[in-house]
Amino acid sequence: MVNNLEAKKTRSGKIRASTLFKGVNVVIATSYKENNWDNLRSAASLLEAEGFVCYPQSSVSPSIRSEDNFVIMSNKPIVDKRENIQRAFFEKGIANARFLYVLPVRHDDKTYIGRTVAHEIAYAMLNNKPIIVSRPIQSFDATVPEGLVQIIKREMNNFLVVLPEDIKGQNRRCSPLRTLPETVSFGLPSEEKNYILGEIDVLLSDFAKGKH
């Protein structure tokens, strides 16, 4: 049960982060910086054309929330604090998704991923979700913990590379995304699983402190 303040906010038109992921079967992991919004919407549009339900949706109009400078991938304002939005991304989005679609960004002629995307990939691995990348990941932002870098590098051979222009395939039935296995066994040892969960806790704590 929500408290009175949360209920009042919800009645005023704001929504809970968990509702963003209802019915979603593909989660897109990428930079939410404004200069990447067009790439994000383009990928979502291609996936939606194949019948997938994406977060974020291609129709979303991203906004930067004034109180914490957090990018909101919703056409409605969200009640939750930034750390709870990211927690919902993990627990409601990735955990229930058919697969994770990763859009690395380009910098200095290389593709790279940042800290949050690295954690999202690691969480998908914990849940044995197929991981699709639009381009091979060539580098990592300096903020990505070295332990995560090494785990992801080791497992990248288990990622499927599907360029945005190849999402559709020759026809809808031939889309490479329609022949994915339900799960992928990454075989992470228990110490790595615990390490990943610990790093996710650190990430969410930094979100709460406004450090990320």
CA distances in angstroms from 56 to 47, 52, 138, listed in the order given: 11, 12, 24
Q: Is there a cis peptide before residue 56, judged by omega within 30 degrees of 0?
A: yes
Per-residue pLDDT of the chain in tens (212 residues, 90 and over written 9)? 333 333 334 445 789 999 999 999 999 999 999 999 999 999 999 999 989 999 999 999 888 888 888 899 999 999 999 999 999 999 999 999 999 999 999 988 899 999 999 999 999 999 999 999 999 999 999 999 999 999 999 999 999 999 887 887 555 555 678 788 888 999 999 999 999 999 999 999 999 998 76
How far is residue 118 from each of residues 84, 104, 147, 160, 200, measured CA to CA in Å? 18, 10, 11, 16, 10
Rounded to two decimals, the pTM is 0.90
Amino acid at 143: T
Burial tier of 95 (Cβ tally within 10 Å: 0-12, 13-18, 19+): middle
| 53 DSSP assignment | -
